[in-house]
Copies of this chain bind each other. A is one copy, B any other.
Amino acid sequence: MALMSENLIPFKKHVFVCNGESCTRNGSAAVKAKFVEELKARGLLRKKAIKGDHMCTDCSSVGFCDIGPAVLVYPDGVWYAHVQPEDVTEIIESHLIGGQPVERLVKNRVPSEEGQ
């Protein structure tokens, strides 16, 4: 692989929170804020000078427009739907730290089984 830039540090998982119109209307900004707050409090957040090993980034619509805040965790390829701020701790503890996705909120996987 190419040499890593010195301003890039290793990290493990990348969380995307949809900020499309519908997700925003259904509270995705609060979900994103909760991820950032909790990851930061646990020393897991990477953002500019903050050197954790998890990143949390906004993304545009992924087509879950009817079911509320979408959260994608990559490289795992786990798509959560209808995530509320009160679900964030569970996703962080069970999935990001523990490696076990929160199945009741999982809506899709990438690559999906049928797509392989």
Binding site for B on A (CB under 8 A): 1-2, 4-5, 7-14, 16, 19, 46-48, 53, 55, 57-63, 66-67, 72, 74-77, 103-116
- The residue on B at minimum CB distance from A60 is B58
Contact of B58 with A106 in the complex, beta carbons under 8 Å: no
Contact of A111 with B8 in the complex, beta carbons under 8 Å: no
Closest 6 CB pairs of A and B: A10-B115, A10-B112, A10-B114, A74-B74, A75-B77, A58-B60
User: Chain B contacts of A66 at CB under 8 A?
Assistant: 7
Q: How distant is the Cα of A105 from the Cα of B2 in the complex, in angstroms?
A: 8
Q: How distant is the Cα of A37 from the Cα of B67 in the complex, in angstroms?
A: 28
28 contacts between A and B (CB under 8 A): A1-B103, A1-B106, A4-B112, A5-B107, A7-B63, A8-B63, A9-B114, A10-B111, A10-B112, A10-B113, A10-B114, A11-B110, A11-B112, A12-B110, A12-B116, A13-B110, A14-B77, A16-B59, A19-B60, A46-B63, A47-B63, A48-B63, A55-B62, A57-B60, A58-B59, A75-B76, A75-B110, A75-B111
